Every structure is written in C-alpha cells, then in structure tokens.
Amino acid sequence: MRLSELVSRYDERLRTEDFADVDASANGLQVGPDEKHVEHVAFAVDAVAETAERAAEADADVLVTHHGLSWGGIERVTDRQYGRIAPLIENDVALYVSHLPLDGHPELGNAAGVADVLGLANTEGIGHVGAETIGLRGDAGALARSAVHERLETELDHGGTGVRALEFGPETVSDVAVVTGAGADFLDEAVAAGVDTVVTGEPKGKTYHEAKEAGINVFCGTHYGTETFGVRSLMDLTERWGPDVTYLDVPTGL
C-alpha cells in the first residue's frame, strides 16, 4: 500500500479535516515523505522517543499514534523534540497522528472502546469542542456502581495504578458519559445532560468537589489507560487492509 493511500483512508474514516479548527494537534501525517511504500504499521498511544525507537526496531514503515509531536507548530527541533523526531527520520519511519478525531469516533474511538467495556447502549455524542464531540454518552441499564469499577479495573491498561473512584452518585448506574484522557473539564456538561456517572482518564484538583456537589460518580482510569482503544481499533482496521501491524504498549500509569 502507498503511504498516500493509507493517509487518505485514515483521514476520510476519521474526518480529520473537520477537526482542523478545534484541535491543537496537527492531525494527519506529521513526519514523512509525500510518498513511500507501506508494508508494516506500528501503533502506540504516544509519539515519544521510546515508541519511535521501538517502531524502527520492528522495521515499521509508519508509526500511528494518538498523541503526536506538533501541537500548534514546531519552532525548534532540539533537545526532547529532536530526540523524538530523529529516530523516525533516521530510520525512515513516517508518523501519522489522530488526536480529537480518534477520541470521539463513534466506532473506532477511545470513548467507544470504554463504552463497549461497560456495555453502554443507545450512545450519542457528548463533550463538545466547537461543533464536534469527543466523548459518548450511553445507557448502562441498571449496572451496579461496583461493577463499573470492576470492569474498568480489569479492562483498562492503567499500568497497575488502578482506577480512582469518586462515589458521590447512585449505587445503581444508568446514564454514563465517557470523555477519555483529560476529560474532567467536561464534567459540567455531563451534569447538565443529566448523567449519573462520568468516566474519564485523569482528574483535576477541582474534580472532587465538583462531583460531590453535583452528586455524581466519577471514575478516572488514567489518561493512558482510557486512550489505548482508538489506536488498537485503527490497528485492527489497518490489518484488514493488508499491511502487517504491531502494537507498542508503553503504559504510564498516569
């Protein structure tokens, strides 16, 4: 497969262009030539020195990540930035990135993966960024709060640090909002929508009192742990297209 075809397929499936004005990440192809042949694609949550080096060691032609290298532009390629880009260029590994487009995608996204873990039904978008949404809200039926915690503990790649729970809502969960990563900022939107439970990645200092005062449950499964689903879904899709694939798991516990 040609690199241009792979990039075009990703961009179309993820609606990359629709997020251009609302995402600080430069989504799409961030590092690489205009064209090359692709036989092997590696996938990871973060574009960092370790994943770039491991992608090269795996003889991958492309590294696909959720968190990329360019957030509003690159002024200097020195120090840490050089250390992350150099292994890609030196080993002819292209880098494709999908941040917000991969968070809220109703089928391939991070929120969709967490929603599947909890068995949410009748999902719809939540977590508005401009005209787009980066999370999902769904019906949990009558799921015990303890069961929510247990499923997240078991299924999320939290690096052994566990899932933090703020249990200020009902013991029987019925309406859940999932906004992965740093999604705690969308707690007020979730409260206004009438949900009783929020699942996100990392809390902020204000999250405790906001959840307590609103009377809702909040589960924090780590930023990394809630955002492995999207790249894994892209990996499965890519494998069906023909290239060999490799997943690079580098859990942070954060």
**What residue spans define the domains of the chain?**
3-99+228-247, 103-226
Report the percentage of the chain scoring pLDDT > 70: 100
Distance (Å, rounded) from C-alpha 229 to C-alpha 113? 5
Query: Is 99 one of the annotated binding-site residues?
Result: no
pLDDT, one tens digit per residue, over 167-207 is 999 999 999 999 999 999 999 999 999 999 999 999 999 99
Query: Is 128 one of the annotated binding-site residues?
Result: no
**What is the arithmetic mean of pLDDT over 128-147?**
98
Beta strands in 93-167, from DSSP E residues, in sequence order: 94-97, 121-129, 132-144, 164-167
Q: How far is CA 178 from CA 52, 77, 81, 166, in A?
A: 29, 35, 31, 15
Query: Is 223 one of the annotated binding-site residues?
Result: yes
Domains 3-99+228-247 and 103-226 agree in fold: yes
**May I ask the CATH architecture of the domain 3-99+228-247?**
3-Layer(aba) Sandwich (3.40)
Query: Is 236 one of the annotated binding-site residues?
Result: no
pLDDT, one tens digit per residue, over 60-101 is 999 999 999 999 888 899 999 999 999 999 999 999 999 999
Query: Is 103 one of the annotated binding-site residues?
Result: yes
- Is 3.40.50.150 the CATH classification of the domain at 103-226? no
pLDDT at 126: 98
Cα 97 → chain centroid: 11
pLDDT at 72: 87
Beta partners for 25?
71
pLDDT at 140: 98
**Res 110 pLDDT > 90:** yes
Q: Extract the tokens encoding 65.
A: 């990540």
Q: Which of 221, 254, 245, 236 is nearest to 111 (CA)?
A: 221
Q: Extract the tokens encoding 143.
A: 């799921």
pTM (two decimals): 0.97
Distance (Å, rounded) from C-alpha 149 to C-alpha 164? 9
**What is the arithmetic mean of pLDDT over 205-227?**
98
- CB proximity list for 28: less than 8 A, separation 6 or greater: 7, 10, 11, 16, 96, 97, 98
pLDDT, one tens digit per residue, over 8-61 is 999 999 999 999 999 999 999 999 998 999 999 999 999 999 999 999 999 999
pLDDT at 75: 87
pLDDT at 73: 86
